Homo-oligomer: A and B are copies of this chain.
Amino acid sequence: MTPTALDIAVVGATGTVGESLVQILEELAFPVATLHLLASMESAGSSVMFAGKKLKVREVDSFDFAQVKLVFFAAGPAVTRSFAPKASAAGCAVIDLSGALDGATALVPEANGKRITELPQPALITSPSAGAVALAVALAPLKGLLDIERVQVNACLAVSEQGREAVSELARQTAELLNARPLEPRFFDRQVAFNLLPQVGTPDEQGHTAVERRLVGELRQLLDLPQLKISVTCIQVPVFFGDSFSVAVQSRRPVDLAAVNAALDAADSIELVEPGDYPTPVGDAVGQDVVYVGRVRHGVDEDQQLNLWLTTDNVRKGAALNAVQTAQLLIKHMA
């Protein structure tokens, strides 16, 4: 059965993720009737190509959400917090990519897709952070094989996580350094080129940042393990695109590596890289629709620990693609 074409809006259509989202709607032949592209005042007015047509990006402030059934929020948290309640009130299903909406259900089809049938109407969904998507895709097939006690994550985040300005800033800083010109950081608070910034955002009283908290909360939801112990350190690395995650999973019983490899290999959204080789963001993950998994091994002298390296296209698989795949699942269940 072909689903009926829907009227859809994308808020934040001019950002890195918003643009990728529009492109993926087209690539996957998502059943769109009319597509409304929206943005905040500063970004409205430009045009984005969709299905061979140039669509003008209009101001979100004056948009009547009653015109559409489904709204993607690929904007910043502030814009999302202002306009998502209006979209919900107008009866729209909302898929938010900013993580700004309390009470929204985090969804990754490969991990907890079955929850789609239980959602209140209209649906209020979070397409999780790239880290939560990658970890959920990799750990969901292993849930039955491991008795997970704790997950330890080091997230090496690409600058594109922070949008276009951050991408330009890494390029500009790198060029200035290579040309031996004095460096004046603008977007970041210091040199990010050839450097690592081990704190992304402002830490709270306990020392954790919002992106770290978000990953923990979302992963607990996605794996349906609300009490799971997860610790995360997010590090800003001088990489343009592609987030990577070094993961240690502590299990309460020995980990059967052969079974783990078989389960990872069997998963559609995972590309398992053989021992000896290893996946990297550039060259492997970027531009791809899967999560790359490599360096599958026990901890040193610890057969109750599983170590993994994950890398994924943070803009595509980690954000826009997961949102569209979630929407595909949603429209199967919409009235």
B-contact bits for A161-200, CB 8 A (1 contact / 0 none): 0000000001100110010000000000011001111110
Copies in the complex: 2
Q: List the B side residues contacting A298 at CB < 8 Å.
A: 206-207
Partner pick for A229 among B232, B295, B299, CB 8 A cutoff: B299
Q: List the B side residues contacting A202 at CB < 8 Å.
A: 276
Partner pick for A299 among B231, B246, B276, B295, CB 8 A cutoff: B231
Q: Is A278 interfacial (CB-CB < 8 Å)?
A: yes
Instruction: Across the interface, name the chain B residue whose C-beta is closest to A170.
Output: B194
Give chain A's interface residue range (CB within 8 Å of chain B).
Answer: 35 or more
A278:B231 contact, CB within 8 angstroms: no
Q: Is A297 interfacial (CB-CB < 8 Å)?
A: yes
Q: Is A154 interfacial (CB-CB < 8 Å)?
A: yes
A196-B280, A198-B295, A300-B213 in contact; A233/B207 too (CB < 8 A)? no
Q: Is A104 interfacial (CB-CB < 8 Å)?
A: no
Q: Nearest chain B CB to A132's CB is how many angstroms away? A: 14
B-contact bits for A36-72, CB 8 A (1 contact / 0 none): 0000000000000000000000000000000000000
A283-B190, A297-B207, A300-B212 in contact; A278/B197 too (CB < 8 A)? yes
A111-119, A136-144, A263-271, A302-310: which lies at the B interface?
A302-310
B300:A232 contact, CB within 8 angstroms: yes
Q: Nearest chain B CB to A265's CB is how many angstroms away? A: 16
Interface residues of A in 207-232 (CB under 8 A from B): 207-208, 212-213, 216, 229-232
Partner pick for A198 among B196, B212, B244, CB 8 A cutoff: B244
Q: List the B side residues contacting A279 at CB < 8 Å.
A: 198
A3-11, A79-87, A234-242: which lies at the B interface?
A234-242
A283:B195 contact, CB within 8 angstroms: yes
A-B contact pairs, 28 of them (CB 8 A): A156-B196, A156-B235, A191-B282, A195-B280, A195-B282, A196-B311, A197-B280, A198-B246, A198-B294, A202-B276, A203-B275, A203-B297, A206-B297, A206-B298, A207-B295, A207-B296, A207-B298, A212-B300, A213-B300, A229-B299, A229-B301, A231-B248, A231-B299, A231-B305, A233-B246, A233-B295, A233-B307, A238-B239
